[in-house]
Every structure is written in structure tokens, then in C-alpha cells.
Amino acid sequence: MSSSLTLPSISFNKLHSSPSLNGFSRNFCSSNQRSRVSISVSAGSQASVNDALFSDYKASNAFLFPGQGAQALGMGKEAQNVPAAAILYKKANDILGFDLLDICINGPKEKLDSTVISQPAIYVTSLAAVELLRVHEGGQQIIDSVDVTCGLSLGEYTALAFAGAFSFEDGLKLVKLRGEAMQDASDAAKSSMVSVIGLDSEKVQQLCDAVNQEVPEAEKVQIANYLCPGNYAVSGGTKGVEVLESKAKSFKARMTVRLAVAGAFHTSFMEPAVSRLEAALAATEIRTPKIPVISNVDAQPHADPDTIKKILARQVTSPVQWETTVNTLLTKGMKKGYELGPGKVIAGILKRVDKAAVIENIGA
């Protein structure tokens, strides 16, 4: 599927004509999924959703959304040609207080790469890609066929918005705060992330253990992203990461690649961000997703809004279980995946897990 889609789109306002469904989910929620929503009433007369609602989900066609690091100058350019996609950027400008599309297209790159800009930029561009797909011939049929979705770290918010768990606007507000909170947590302590290439997860853990024997508590490292065989991201204190880089060759790693992020994401270094996220999530209306959304924390789908809120707050300090997520989708029968948004990171990961896996990139 080409990303150069320029056909006219349906109105974004029309997508939100039903108050009960988010615009991204309205057109693909199947009657089968609706019939499976079960509500249990507690003694306090408060309705609660069975969190195990999606536990027996099947994965035929999946939407997968990228995370921080996928950003690139020029992203969003195609979105200007599709009214429903262009409106997302206009809405984003009102929420963020600056011209997001201009930064996406023109940079400067250093600004786009910053945590506080890149996270909202990827969120909006990925949902704009959904709108570009929608107006392409057969695109709505693809959207209707999607029966599971997930996203890498930040991309989990995009997946939840697509699945109707919260509105585009509320999701963007959460992503904005998340980026700011993670940046502030990174500024509070010197920390870094590095990809270790060429080792399995057990060997990377042994490497981390060796490093942690030599550095003080504040510098310790841990696996932060279980991406795919041969590629695991490690987070920790900057000194600990430097020691890891010096030891990696002796553990037979092919190479290490320092990641261009603000700090040690998905570790306890992000703990200062949790309380801010908890407060924002508590004030946000979150609904049961219309299709399963796989969590980064435990590689499981969750249906209960309160559980989703707790999971999202934990996500910034918990290792990303992406390898398990991909393996589970394949085990559940995924025939085709679609990576929506900038870059082709997810496609590369999927191919590392299973060379026969089918995935298509939909850019914006």
C-alpha cells in the first residue's frame, strides 16, 4: 500500500456523529465484538467490565502502531491532501499550542526528535495514516477487517485511540503530558538507552548482571525493550550504559547502538512520571476498546477501563514485552499486519520474529 494517497476523505466530524463510539472505531466494530461486551454489577451498583473479555481473541488482521524513534522529517506531508487527516493536525495545534505539522515536515530535526515533540507527532501522524488508508480503494474494508491492535510503547496510546478507548483529543492530551513527564524524569537523573544487537535475551540479561556488579545502584541497567531476537534495548544510568558498551563485545554482541532518547525509558528512572500520568488518566474518560488492544506491560488485552488506566501508568516504568506480543499475534493466527505511521521499525521487528510474516506499511 503506497503512502502517497491523495483522494478526498470523509468528514472527520461525521466520524464522531455517534457519541458512544470514537471516530476511529465506529466503522469497524463488528456485531460479534459488540455482543461479547459483558457487564457485571457490583454490590455498590457500579457497572464494571470483565477485564478478561478479550482473553480468547483471535488475530486475523492487525494494526500495529510505532513508538518513539520512528519519527522522520517530512512525515505528515501526505496528510495535507486528505481532509480528515489534515483536521487531526489542526486539532493538535489547538491542544499543543504550536504548529505540529510544520515541525513534522520542516523540523528542525533536533526539535522533532525531542521527547515532548516526537511523541505527539507520532501519535497524530499514525492516526492520520488511518485516514489516508480509509480513502484509498479498499481501505475501509481493511479497517473493518481489523480484529486486534497494538502499539510499541507510545504506540499503545495510538492503538487505544483507534480502538475507541478514548477520543483523539483526550489521547493527544495524555501523550503530551506523557512526553513532558518522561522528559522531566530524564532531566532529573543522567540516564540512557542502548540497543544490544546479536544476542538472545538470556545473554543480554547476563551482560546486564555483569555491568551491575561494577556500578553503583543509581547507575544500574536492565532490559527495557524486548523487541525481537537479536535486538534488545537496555536502559540505565549513563555510566552503567557506558560500561555495558565496553563489555558487549566480550559477550559476543555484534554491536551496540546508543538510542537518541532523553533517558532510561521503561525503568524505575521514569518513576517521577508515574504520579503525573495517574492523575491525568484518572481525569480521562476511558471506555472498553471495541477490539482487543495488546498491552506492552503484560502482552495481554484488557477490557476494564480502570485496569487500562493502571496499565498505562505502569507502562513507563515496565519493560516493553513486544517480542511476546508479536509471537502471540502469530500464534493467534495473524494473517496480515499493517504498520500505520512513520518508519518501518515494526515491519523489521516482525520479520525478525517470523520471516514469513506479512506486513504492509501505511505512511502519512
> What is the C-alpha separation between 264 and 241, in angstroms, rounded?
10
- Helix 115-135 vs helix 155-162: crossing angle, to nearest 10: 40
Kindly state the DSSP code that residue 299 receives in the 8-state scheme: S
The catalytically annotated residue of 25, 136, 266, 318 is 266
Residue linked to cell 536492565: 222
The catalytically annotated residue of 9, 118, 153, 318 is 153
Closest CA relative to residue 146, chosen from 55, 54, 25: 25
Q: Which residues contact 183 (CB under 8 A, 6 or more apart)?
A: 114, 115, 116, 262
Coil, strand or helix at 231? strand
Coil, strand or helix at 17? coil
Residue 153 appears among annotated catalytic residues: yes
| Three-point CA angle 233, 306, 39, nearest 5° | 130
> What is the C-alpha separation between 267 and 299, in angstroms, rounded?
17
Catalytic residues: 153, 266
